[in-house]
Amino acid sequence: MLDIKFIRENKDLVKKGVTDKQFDPSIVDEVLKVDEERKKLQLEVEELRSERNKVAKAGKPQPSEASRGKEIKENLKKLEPEFDKVDTKFLELLNQIPNLPLPNVPVGKNESENVEIKKVGEIRKLNFTPKDHLELGTKLGILDFETGAKVTGSQFYFLYGDGALLELALVQYAMELLSKEGFLPVITPDLAKSRFYLGTGYAPKGVEAQTYIVEGEDLGLIATAEVTLAGKHADEVIPENELPKKYIGYSHCFRQEAGAYGKYSKGMYRVHQFTKAEMFIYCKPEESEAMHQHILEMEEKIYQNLGLPYRVLEICTGDLGAMAARKYDIEAWMPGRNDYGEVTSTSNCTDYQARNLNIKYRKKDGKIEFVHMLNGTAIATSRTPLAILENYQNEDGSVTIPEVLRKWMGKEKVEKRNK
């Protein structure tokens, strides 16, 4: 959420940001209106409580005071629920105001106005018609959606042999590279309490649209390790000298993806479960822009080393979503669709998530302030293997393994298995 004080004092600025994000700016006026109501009620409640405390402090049973005390109690019994109701409504509305875009973010209505900031790598010219990853993987016997559908449901898959090894190799590659860059490798739980899968904004509006929820418990399957890594420091005050904290988290990710079908969702591009190595950084406000560039650099390094052609997009205001103040996506070339497709996304959420989760840091001078929080994909297995299969395919249907992964795969090429 945003700081209500900031909203009170910068109404027009907030409205502009909200408008640029393609949210309805009237929400800002609504919040301020309910805020006034809330403050009024709060004052009444606090005055009553103050009197109650005085009466109580006067000591023993004095008959007249006791009856006044009873009266106050009755009044509070009516007023407090009223305040709670308004307060709840206030928070609900406040949470609907998205994070504001940073000043240099390109203004645009939707994804069509995202800005391509660079293109890297050369697209291989093939002298044969490329197959898509689904056909390649299925024929190689390493990818099996049919059994996934049988056992679990549509858009789930089994990996066999080199398919399984490729996923593990990618994760190990990313973990090794990033731990050398000062990121702490973390394996997190794959489930989290609702406070965290909601508090990180993964389901702020459509709520259950993305998240699988465990019946009878306050638990859901995480959509990304961002949820657990952000929850890790909830309600903490981090000493300044421990910042920045850099994590590379490993988890499985679960998304319902309700209604998300279509030709671009084919095969591994959009699935209900995948594995991901996710970078996550907590830092001081003044260094968050630099940290964001740092994450993007790491992502580029990974895709360069994997030898995958890609482009970098700066996401425009209208496509940022609620949490991000700035966002970059990397799209890798995917011959199967003859187009680029998203493989990573890195967001600077500034202090928006930190305010939801109450994560602060103590400065050297003793002052306490909210941290900035950033996240970025290192490897999303399903989409990265997809890009590898399609870009490294040979005419005979075999797939050459990228050099950096060979030490974990123990071979240079994936070929058809008999069994």
Partner RNA sequence: GGUGAGGUCGCAUAGCGGACUAGUGCAGCGGUCUUGAAAACCGCCGUAGUCUUUUAAGGCUACCGUGGGUUCGAAUCCCACCCUCACCGCCA
Window of 43-51, 165-173, 183-191, 327-335 that interacts with RNA by CB under 7 A: 43-51
Task: Quote the least distance from Cβ 355 to RNA, whole Å.
Answer: 9
Element (H, E) at 119: strand 115-120
Burial-class residue 336 by CB neighbours within 10 Å (0-12, 13-18, 19+). buried
- Paired strand residues for 376: 279, 346
The answer to whether residue 67 is catalytic is: no
Task: Quote the least distance from Cβ 187 to RNA, whole Å.
Answer: 13
What is the crossing angle of helices 161-180 and 288-305, to 10°? 140
Q: Report how far apart the first and last C-alpha atoms of the chain are (Å, whole number).
A: 53
The count of chain residues that interact with RNA, using the rule CB under 7 A, is: 28
Q: Which of 19, 30, 44, 52 binds RNA (CB under 7 A)?
A: 52
The answer to whether residue 337 is catalytic is: no
Window of 36-44, 103-111, 162-170, 172-180 that interacts with RNA by CB under 7 A: 36-44
Give the DSSP letter of residue 97.
S
9 binds RNA (CB under 7 A): no
338 binds RNA (CB under 7 A): no
Window of 69-77, 145-153, 295-303, 333-341 that interacts with RNA by CB under 7 A: 69-77
3-class SS of residue 333: strand
Query: Nearer to RNA by C-beta: 217 or 339?
Result: 217
Q: Which of 9, 13, 66, 363 binds RNA (CB under 7 A)?
A: 66
Burial-class residue 173 by CB neighbours within 10 Å (0-12, 13-18, 19+). buried
The answer to whether residue 326 is catalytic is: no
Phi, psi of 221 (to 5 degrees): -75, 130
3-state SS record for 44-58: HHHHHHHHHHHHHHC
4 binds RNA (CB under 7 A): yes
88 binds RNA (CB under 7 A): no
Contacts of 147 (CB under 8 A, 6+ apart): 157, 158
The answer to whether residue 52 is catalytic is: no
Catalytic annotation, residues: 255, 270, 342, 345, 383
Q: Which residues of the shown chain bind RNA in the complex (CB under 7 A)?
A: 4-5, 39, 42-43, 45-47, 49-50, 52-57, 59-61, 65-66, 69-70, 72-73, 360, 366, 368
